[in-house]
Chain A
């Protein structure tokens, strides 16, 4: 039975295209960016080695800190709020709407809430930049019509409000994802668990906390980590809505890097920003994985 011995040999060739492609598109560019981050380079001519200069400048750059501070708020808008709100909404849809009004209604709500997720991010940005436009935007016109002129604002153009406006748009954009994920997780739960809780006279809230939240922990972690990383990477919405302005009030690391690469021709500096962002994302992802692993062991 020579076949037995060599059973798992000969598969390595199937990895060759994938490995070559990954080298060319991911590994080599990644290494090059890290190298650029130690140089001064405008994109033409040869990069000049400057050691850690980009990094020391970066950590003294208030704009860099501001862009990461803004990300902190965007994590709240893109990860924390949608996850918590999505959890409650998924439970209500699955457990209340589906039972009292039928699955069709639950499905309808789910699809409607999920809709923003399937649209191109740049397009949703256009939709909102129209709604929030100070003069011809729908929101201000509605406020004027109902007599609340005082509340009308330059939503994206006023540095005091721009970031909050972007946060609001991001909550709208993200909410559907946790709802769909959690509802699919809920469908895994054995209905007898709920029946047992009903027999014991548990209230809806008790059932929600003790069964629902507990059972969909795997989805909970997946949603939290993917949405947090999405927040760290946010680019298209900021590009379309505010371009990081006004007065850098909505600056985020990815746009900050883009600006340095392609508008200021400071490739070394842009590379340093991207490298820091990458390190942060990878660390966060592994922390989450550890956390998830541990919580699975506890169960």
Chain B
């Protein structure tokens, strides 16, 4: 690895043949290693994409690695219709959207009081939200299940929205409070001089200024809620109410699930997630960095 001692570019013209011979194998090995790893990481998804378009006969004859003999859509279409996948997508979308909006609003209100208002006992509130973040959902699930049954909210998306709004906002409050505790005081004072009350200051000054952080929170809440499995599995028992991960998860191991159907089901579960990833990519990377310095 002696190559690395030289500044990049410096050697290119001076000691070309010798250094190039020495340099290329290392570079090539590193790159090859990283590419193999990349293939291992995305390979399963590629394999799913390829096999979702094969007919069962094609899969039986040619195995998992061949290119589909023809584009066979029936597996995907049949599975889509059988589980009424459009309904599941809608359920997931509505739930995730409602949770992210409500969760961000609740986080803003909490963080406004704790970070900017510095209300009494703020440290204890923060400890509470931190611990709430850590709790395994198993320790909340049975009472929530029991209460929602009593309240007539069992097997309803409303229960899931309420629960995840609170759970996600525990993280949001924790993150946003640390951002708001360094909020520029001049802006608040200027708003006060202009005669704005606390309510107006919050929506006219604090929220617009912290827009980028709120976008990150929104993105996180959306994707996390979309991907949630445990509580939706317990709460959403009827077919019409299931979210995407639950609908796909409970079918796993079903006798009707052969290789190509499994691939088809996995593919239609993967595609929306990849779309979100592409749409939210920039916010996500920024957000993960923000999470690190909380």
Residues of A within 8 A of B (CB): 3, 8, 10-15, 17-18, 21-22, 24-26, 28-30, 32-33, 36, 43, 89, 92-93, 96-97, 99-101, 109, 111-113, 115-116, 118-131, 133, 136-138, 141-142, 145, 172, 175-176, 180-181, 184-185, 198, 201, 203-205, 218-219, 222, 229, 232-233, 235-236, 239-240, 243, 253-254, 257-258, 261-262, 267, 270-271, 273-275, 277-278, 281-282, 285
Contact = CB atoms under 8 A, between A and B. Distances in A.
A29 to B, nearest CB: 4
Interface string B48-90: 1001000000010001110000000000000000000000000
B40 A25 contact: no
Contact of A29 (B118, B144, B223): B144
Interface in B130-148: 130-132, 134-147
Interface residues of B, number: 100
In the A-B complex, list the 8 residue pairs whose CB atoms are closest, starting with the nearest. A11-B117, A123-B269, A29-B143, A138-B64, A122-B249, A32-B143, A184-B289, A122-B245
A22 B128 contact: yes
A18 B59 CA distance: 53
Contacts of A113: 37-38, 41
Given A118-B274, A122-B246, A281 B262 contact: no
A172 B43 CA distance: 11
Contact of B227 (A121, A254, A281): A121
A26 B41 contact: no
B119 A11 contact: yes
A224 to B, nearest CB: 12
Contacts of B123: none
A197 to B, nearest CB: 10
A285 B248 CA distance: 33
Nearest to B63: A141
Contacts of B241: none
Interface stretch (B13-21, B158-166, B210-218): B158-166
Given A92-B34, A99-B8, A282 B134 contact: yes
A183 B140 CA distance: 35
Nearest to A195: B7
Contacts of A203: 1-2, 4-5
A117 to B, nearest CB: 9
A185 B118 contact: no
Contacts of A128: 44
A277 B266 contact: no
A92 B4 CA distance: 12
7 contacts: A21-B166, A25-B166, A100-B27, A113-B37, A118-B273, A137-B259, A181-B288
Given A11-B118, A14-B117, 20 more contacts: A8-B118, A11-B119, A14-B109, A22-B170, A26-B140, A28-B143, A33-B143, A96-B30, A113-B38, A123-B244, A126-B249, A145-B63, A184-B288, A184-B292, A258-B230, A261-B138, A262-B234, A270-B138, A273-B138, A285-B134
A115 B136 contact: no
B292 A15 contact: no
Contact of A109 (B38, B118, B285): B38
B141 to A, nearest CB: 7
B293 interface: yes
A180 B285 contact: yes
Contacts of B138: 235, 253-254, 257-258, 261, 270, 273-274, 277
A271 B234 CA distance: 15
B249 A15 contact: no
Nearest to B289: A184
A232 B135 CA distance: 11
B109 A18 contact: yes
Q: Which of B2, B8, B136, B163 has the most CB of A within 10 A?
A: B136
B59 A136 contact: yes
B253 to A, nearest CB: 8
A170 B45 CA distance: 15
B196 to A, nearest CB: 12
A93 to B, nearest CB: 8
A112 B252 contact: no
Contacts of A32: 142-143, 146
Contacts of B38: 109, 112-113
B106 interface: yes
Contact of A12 (B4, B27, B119, B233): B119
A124 B274 CA distance: 12
A121 B170 CA distance: 22
Given A97-B30, A112-B38, A11 B249 contact: no
A122 B248 contact: yes
Contacts of B125: 15
Contacts of A273: 138
B244 A14 contact: no
